[in-house]
Amino acid sequence: MSMIHSPAAEAAAPQGTSAWQNIKRYLAYKWKEIKKARTYYLFVLPYALIFFTFTVIPVIISIYLSFTTFNMIQVPRFVFIENYYKLFMADELFLEAIKNTMLISTITGPVGYLLCLMFAWLLNEMPPKFRAVLTLLFYAPALTQTSTIFTFIFSGDAQGLLNSTLLRWTVIVSPVQWLANEATILPCILVVILWLSLGTSFLSFIAGFQGVDREQYEAGAIDGIKNRWQELWYITLPNMKQQMMFGAVMSITGSFGMGAVITQLVGFPSPNYAAHTIVHHLEDYGNIRFEMGYASAIATILFLIMVTANKLVQSMLRKVGT
C-alpha cells in the first residue's frame, strides 16, 4: 500500500535529525510556498507594513514601558512589576475603574450584540423597501452627535426632555440631575451605549443574513428542520460566523472604549468618579500627568482584558449550530 505524503510531511525532517535541521527544512518549505504566492503577498504588503508599524510596534513598546518609569523627558528607568503592584495594591481608583468598566462592558456588550442580531433578523424578514428604511433608522445612532442629543434628554432642568415628560405625568415633583447624581449616572450611560451599539455590527448582521443561500433552507426542511428557530440555529447562524465574529469584536471594543462618550456626557472626572473607567484612568496618567510607564501598565491590562474577552467570544461562537 502506497503512503500519502502531505507537503508539510515532506518538509519535515526524517527521524534522527537535529532540531535545527528540522527548522531549516520547515523554513525552506515555507519560503517556497511564499514564492509561489508572491503576488498575493505583494498586495497584502502595504497594509501589513502599516499595521505592523502603527499597531504591533506601539503595542510592544507600550508593554516594555509598562515595566519602567518614564515621564517623556528622562530616559525610561526599569522598575520591573512596580507599576502593576501599585495598580492593584495601592490605587483604589483603578480598582473602581475596573469595576465600572466590567459592569458597563458586561451589560452593554452582550445585550447590544444580541439586540443587533435580533433586529437584523427581524428586518431581514421584511419587504426590501421597508427593510431599507428601517435599516437607515437603526443605523442612525452611528451617524448622530450623541452627546448633544442625550445631554438634552437627560438635562437636569425642567426643560430637559426626560424631566419635562416625568413632571407632566407627575412621576416626579422636581427635576432630577440625571448626569450629576451618582445613583443615576451609570444607568443613563448604559442607555446611551446600548443606543450606540446599533451601528456597524447591525449592518454586518444584515449583510450576513442576506448572504445565506436560500437553497439551504429547502434542504434543511427536507432534513427535518421544523421551525424558524431551528432554521436560525442550524442554518442561518453557521453561515454567518464571520459577520458574527466581526460584530462581537466591534461590540467588545466599543463597550470597553466608551471613555470619550462618557466624558462628553458627565465630564472628566465624573461626579465622585461614579463613571470612571479604565480608559479614563489611562487618559489621566497618559495625557494629563504624563506618567507614561504607569499609563502603559494600565493600557497593557486593558489590552489583556480585551484579548481575553475576544478569545472567550470565539470559543462561544464555535458552538453555534452544534
User: In this structure, are 118 and 38 located in the same domain?
Assistant: no
User: In this structure, are 232 and 280 located in the same domain?
Assistant: yes
CB of 101 closer than 8 Å to CB of 276: no
Three-state DSSP class for residue 74 = coil
The predicted structure's pLDDT at residue 87: 94
User: In this structure, are 70 and 97 located in the same domain?
Assistant: no
CB of 139 closer than 8 Å to CB of 198: yes
User: In this structure, are 108 and 252 located in the same domain?
Assistant: yes
Residue at a domain's end among 23, 48, 78: 78
Q: How many independent structural domains does the chain possess? A: 2
Q: Domain containing 129: what range?
A: 92-317
User: Along the 322 residues of the chain, how does pLDDT read in single tens digits?
Assistant: 444 445 544 444 455 567 788 888 888 888 888 888 888 889 999 999 999 999 999 999 999 999 999 998 899 999 999 999 999 999 999 999 999 999 888 888 888 888 888 888 888 888 888 888 888 777 776 676 667 788 889 988 888 899 999 999 988 889 999 998 888 999 999 888 888 777 777 888 888 888 888 888 888 888 888 888 888 888 888 888 888 888 888 888 877 878 888 888 888 988 889 999 999 999 999 999 999 999 999 999 999 998 898 888 888 888 776 6
User: In this structure, are 202 and 279 located in the same domain?
Assistant: yes
Cα–Cα distances in angstroms (integers) from residue 77 to residues 108, 293, 303, in the given order? 39, 9, 23
Residue 86 resides in a domain: no
The b-or-e profile of 258-272 (16+ CB within 10 A means b, else e) is bbebbbbbbeeebee
Residue 239 resides in a domain: yes
The C-alpha atoms of residue 181 and residue 154 are separated, in whole angstroms, by: 11
Full-model pTM: 0.81
Residue 151 resides in a domain: yes
Which residues, other chains included, contact 186 with Cβ-Cβ below 8 Å and sequence gap of 6+? 100, 103, 104, 274, 275
